[in-house]
Amino acid sequence: MDVVTGAFSFTGRYVAARLLDSGREVRTLTRRPQSESPFGDRVRAFPLDFADPGPLRGADTLYNTYWIRFPDGGTSFEDAVANTVALFGAARAAGVRRVVQLSVAHASPDSPYAYFRGKAVVEAALASSGLSHAIVRPTLVFGDGEVLVNNIARLLRRSPLFVLPRAACRIRPIAAEDLADLCVEAAAGEDDVTFDAAGPEELAFEELVRTVREAVGSRAVLLRGGPRTVLAVTRGLGVVARQTLLTPEELGALADDLLTSAEPPRGAKRFAAWVQESAPSLGRRLATGDRRPWPG
């Protein structure tokens, strides 16, 4: 039996599917009710109560995807760190054999971005916890249910204009299926390891947008703008959509090339192949972390 945080959300859903396919029993820790399970009763949901070892007892591996995109609803990045450290404590108390921790490429205590600094603190806490672990650091993860690319497609479908940042913004995206495979392989090992999870090709953000634009048949005119323009436009669209489409931190990380990796590619699937497959449903609905655009 393994425990996956967020098995009804994005990355955790791919990990849970992979584990079920290989015959494992899977539990999840989540804020969501059992009725939202895409796996029916095959995955049992427990509350995301970080300090509770109960649901973790008997688990071989804890796959931890828990994190926040930006401070929201009273949860800061410091809270997210404390919650994650409490979860590691619960895993130890429960006798979990191994932890596979979803981090992020370029996690660093010196990062100007709280998201990346928080991830580095969590990595250090795991390294000193005494738990056998693998730290997997994705770049940008693409797949059904993902928010960013879906919402780019949404804007390209609906708006006559799309503003690109002036910076090249290099991205080496990885498919969610490939990431799930890497996580499950990493669980099988015994050594403590840390590695980036990046796909086979590096794209400039403009190439990524053009690939999506073509696939969804958009005629939106692509313009370039500085960070203030990009943020002003996305903030305005976010007000209409009643959600945060892009934060200054996310734009900064994109412009600083933090969504790429210098490590060898570990994923095989190409971004353009997935966009082609997903084009009919991509961007049909606006997505949020709470309302993901699963096809069908």
Ligand X SMILES: NC(=O)c1ccc[n+]([C@@H]2O[C@H](COP(=O)([O-])OP(=O)(O)OC[C@H]3O[C@@H](n4cnc5c(N)ncnc54)[C@H](OP(=O)(O)O)[C@@H]3O)[C@@H](O)[C@H]2O)c1
List residues near ligand X by CB under 6 A.
5-6, 8-12, 30-32, 48, 65-68, 72-73, 75, 102, 104, 138, 140-141, 289
Residue 285's identity, in one-letter code, is: R
Please identify which residue in the block is written with the tokens 């849970």: 16
User: Residue 65 or 260: which CB sits closer to ligand X?
Assistant: 65
Least distance in angstroms from the C-beta of 219 to ligand X: 28
Least distance in angstroms from the C-beta of 291 to ligand X: 11
User: Residue 103 or 218: which CB sits closer to ligand X?
Assistant: 103
Backbone angles phi, psi at 9, to 5 degrees: -105, -135
User: Residue 229 or 243: which CB sits closer to ligand X?
Assistant: 243
- Residues in Cβ contact with 242 at an 8 Å cutoff, skipping those fewer than 6 apart: none
Least distance in angstroms from the C-beta of 221 to ligand X: 27
Please identify which residue in the block is written with the tokens 């966009």: 275
Backbone angles phi, psi at 93, to 5 degrees: -60, -30
Closest CA to 12 of 55, 50, 43, 35: 43
Least distance in angstroms from the C-beta of 118 to ligand X: 9
Please identify which residue in the block is written with the tokens 């940008």: 140
Burial 50-79 (b: 16+ CB within 10 A, else e): bebbebbeebebbbbbbbbeeeeeeeebee
Find the residue with minimal CB distance to ligand X: 6
User: Residue 105 or 233: which CB sits closer to ligand X?
Assistant: 105
Both tokens assigned to 295: 């096809």
> What strand order describes the sheet that includes 26-30?
43-47, 26-30, 2-5, 61-64, 98-102, 132-138, 193-197
CA distances from 11 to 43, 46, 248 (A): 15, 18, 24
Least distance in angstroms from the C-beta of 207 to ligand X: 17
User: Residue 217 or 257: which CB sits closer to ligand X?
Assistant: 257
Q: What is residue 54's three-state secondary structure?
A: helix
Least distance in angstroms from the C-beta of 296 to ligand X: 19
How many Å apart are CA 16 and CA 184, to the nearest integer? 10
Least distance in angstroms from the C-beta of 15 to ligand X: 9
User: Residue 180 or 231: which CB sits closer to ligand X?
Assistant: 180
User: Residue 101 or 224: which CB sits closer to ligand X?
Assistant: 101
